[in-house]
Amino acid sequence: MEEVELAGPAEEILRFLSERKNPMFEAHELAINYVYYRFKFDGRSERTIKGIFKNALKGDKERKYNSNKSVKNFKAYCFSMRSGHFEKAPAGWDISKEEDLHELGRL
């Protein structure tokens, strides 16, 4: 992944966060909750990191994401959080303390 692929969507997400009027959540709270949601859940169901035949952290052979979809998913998550449709990250949750991240820890 190149820097350009990260810079554009990151700017768009930051712009979205700064343009919100009367936010229910601070920007850093939304970011933490979104990371928690994406790490722990696959859609509405709980994510299985290590299964019998597949490890979710190994990645896919074909690219299944794009920056526009990522930004759209983040915005949808923010609006859904406001409605109370998703769980929030537990108080004090930190992704760096997740045991399932040993393989990604080198990044």
Q: What span, in angstroms and rounded, lies between the C-alpha atoms of 28 and 82?
A: 15
Tell me whether residue 107 is in a domain: no
Position 53 scores a pLDDT of: 58
The total of structural domains in the chain comes to: 1
Tell me whether residue 45 is in a domain: yes
- List the domain range (segments joined by +) for residue 62: 3-101
Query: What is this structure's pTM?
Result: 0.76
Which two three-digit tokens encode residue 7? Answer: 């810079």
Tell me whether residue 63 is in a domain: yes
User: What single DSSP character describes residue 97?
Assistant: G
Position 75 scores a pLDDT of: 94
Candidates 37, 19, 21; CA nearest to 29 is 37
Position 51 scores a pLDDT of: 55
Tell me whether residue 106 is in a domain: no
Q: What are phi and psi of 90, to 5 degrees?
A: -60, 150
Question: What tens digit of pLDDT does each residue of 24-59 get?
Answer: 889 999 999 999 998 888 777 776 655 555 555 565
